[in-house]
């Protein structure tokens, strides 16, 4: 696939590397020569210097030959113009990064499509909604729903007193009356394991499990995870994510939002009706304590500074906060953050990649998720007429090592997939795979 990316910022650079690693031809546009130089030295791609809002620059990037134009500059107006012009010049599909939820009003989407903007991505809003879901499911460190919640993915840390401790998957399946969940990935130290029946669970393993919604409570119990209720929340950072999170939560919880910039606090106070906005330095532990840190059930650090977010979450944890969530912009810090005690990581690059990756596949994918800190991604495929995956039972399909089918939804019924499962046309199938294998996987669904 030929892909043009407008914007060599953090998100654009990450997308470029991800797409090149998946054998796509990428052209990167940016006004900053130094950014393009860095991209060329680390990624096998073409670069074009200039503004993607100019027809001449888009022509140099050969946007007329592109299957996908992704505009992710820091200016959403430039992104819109780039998509509109790119579509007129021949780009097959266009995606614009935005920074205002008003663009997502459903009744207006057809207007944007008619002028050339096929779809939009708002990473900050997606991040805020992920935080909201994590607070609903306090026992999990990462969560994601498929088919409107008929199947759920949870990341859980195995407790030292868990019922599944030192047991293999085969032993666990024999002891359970019905197979209502399936482990699809295990993070153990720096290693990612795509488990087989012979793999066992060890203390502090981070396990990704696919399950039916109604079986989550039982799953948490056997993993030794105790969910808890949340009433009081402290948010550090009046960023777009912080603001959006407070908007989503303030009618249900007691929220304090801290930012050290007075002008930011004034703007937030005019928008947030049930949130206490505090102008203070959130890195000062005494200030946090004075504002009731020790009484908080959850601490959400979403400032523009990764180090501050990690550090403040560790302070919160030390002071008894049950749930900590940190915005970590540097991919290389994700594993470190998890290992030293931050419960959950939010990363805008992975959020954008999760959304955009599905547009690079020929098979029909309704959702995808790049997982934090583990070398595996998850996809929800829709099975088409004539798909190879319908020809045999799962155990006879000979999927590549490193690929696991976790579950499927057929009409309104969800099921955990076993070797004896026969997949049918129209099924929504949840697949886990290491990134390098996704194009082999999609051949079964195309």
CATH code for residues 231-321: 3.40.50.720
In this structure, of 2-16, 199-213, 289-303, the range with the lowest mean pLDDT score is: 199-213
Token duo for residue 85: 């012009």
Regarding the domain delimited by 352-442, which CATH topology (the fold level of the hierarchy) does it fall under? Alpha-Beta Plaits (3.30.70)
The per-residue pLDDT for range 335-375, each reduced to its tens digit, is 778 778 889 999 988 888 888 888 888 889 998 888 877 77
* pLDDT for the residue numbered 333: 81
The per-residue pLDDT for range 241-279, each reduced to its tens digit, is 999 999 999 999 999 999 999 999 999 999 999 999 999
> Span 392-419, mean pLDDT?
90
DSSP letters for 269-296:
HHH-SSEEEEES-TT-HHHHHHTTGGG-
Distance, in Å, from the CA atom of 373 to the CA atom of 334, rounded to the nearest integer, reads 6
> Span 153-161, mean pLDDT?
88
Strands of 18-132 (E only): list them.
25-30, 46-49, 68-71, 93-97, 119-121
Instruction: Examine the pLDDT at 121 and tell me if it is beyond 80.
Output: yes
Domain 141-222 shares a fold with domain 352-442: yes
How far separated are the first and last CA of the chain, in Å rounded?
16
* pLDDT for the residue numbered 178: 66
* pLDDT for the residue numbered 53: 96
Q: What is the residue extent of each domain of the chain?
A: 2-121, 141-222, 231-321, 352-442
CATH code for residues 2-121: 3.40.50.720
Strand ranges across the sheet with 142-146: 142-146, 151-157, 206-212, 181-188, 191-193
* pLDDT for the residue numbered 30: 97
Distance, in Å, from the CA atom of 322 to the CA atom of 231, rounded to the nearest integer, reads 11
The per-residue pLDDT for range 309-344, each reduced to its tens digit, is 999 999 999 999 999 999 998 877 887 787 788 899
Residues 156/207, Cβ–Cβ less than 8 Å: yes
Instruction: Examine the pLDDT at 177 and tell me if it is beyond 70.
Output: no
Dihedral class, residue 123 (left if φ above 0, else alpha if ψ from -120 to 50, else beta): alpha
Whose structure tokens read 């990704």?
A: 208
> What's the pTM?
0.88
**CATH superfamily ID and name for 141-222:** Regulator of K+ conductance, C-terminal domain (3.30.70.1450)
* pLDDT for the residue numbered 137: 86
């Amino acid at each position: 696939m030929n892909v043009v990316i407008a914007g060599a910022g953090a998100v654009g650079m990450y997308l470029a590397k991800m797409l090149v690693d998946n054998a796509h031809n990428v052209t990167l546009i940016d006004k900053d020569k130094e950014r393009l130089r860095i991209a060329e030295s680390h990624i096998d791609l073409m670069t074009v210097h200039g503004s993607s809002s100019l027809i001449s620059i888009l022509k140099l990037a050969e946007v007329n030959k592109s299957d996908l134009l992704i505009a992710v500059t820091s200016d959403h107006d430039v992104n819109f113009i780039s998509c509109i012009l790119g579509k007129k010049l021949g780009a097959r599909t266009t995606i614009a990064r935005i920074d205002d939820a008003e663009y997502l009003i459903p009744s207006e989407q057809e207007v944007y499509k008619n002028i050339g903007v096929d779809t939009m991505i708002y990473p900050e809003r997606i991040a805020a909604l992920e935080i909201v879901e994590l607070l609903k499911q306090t026992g999990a460190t990462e969560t994601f729903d498929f088919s409107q919640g008929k199947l759920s993915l949870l990341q859980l840390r195995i407790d030292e007193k868990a019922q599944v401790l030192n047991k293999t998957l085969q032993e666990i399946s024999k002891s359970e009356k019905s197979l209502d969940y399936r482990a699809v990935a295990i993070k153990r130290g720096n290693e990612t394991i795509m488990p087989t029946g012979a793999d066992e669970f060890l203390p502090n393993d981070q396990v990704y499990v696919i399950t039916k919604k109604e079986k989550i409570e039982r799953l948490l119990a056997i993993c030794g995870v105790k969910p808890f209720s949340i009433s009081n929340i402290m948010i550090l950072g009046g960023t777009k994510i912080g603001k959006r999170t407070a908007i989503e939560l303030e009618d249900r919880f007691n929220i304090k939002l801290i930012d050290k910039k007075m002008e930011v606090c004034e703007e937030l106070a005019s928008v947030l009706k049930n949130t206490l906005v505090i102008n203070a330095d959130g890195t000062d532990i005494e200030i946090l304590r004075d504002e009731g840190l020790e009484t908080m059930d959850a601490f959400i650090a979403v400032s523009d500074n990764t180090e501050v977010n990690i550090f403040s979450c560790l302070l919160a944890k030390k002071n008894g906060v049950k749930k900590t969530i940190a915005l970590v912009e540097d991919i290389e810090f994700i594993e470190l953050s998890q290992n030293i005690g931050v419960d959950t990581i939010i990363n805008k690059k992975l959020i954008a990649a999760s959304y955009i990756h599905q547009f690079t596949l020929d098979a029909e994918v309704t959702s995808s998720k790049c997982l934090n800190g583990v070398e595996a991604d998850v996809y929800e495929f829709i099975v088409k007429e004539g798909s190879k995956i319908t020809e045999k039972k799962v155990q006879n399909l000979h999927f590549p090592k490193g690929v696991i089918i976790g579950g499927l939804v057929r009409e309104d019924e969800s099921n955990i997939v076993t070797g004896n499962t026969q997949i049918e046309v129209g099924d929504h199938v949840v697949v886990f795979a290491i990134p390098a294998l996704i194009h082999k996987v999609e051949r079964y669904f195309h």
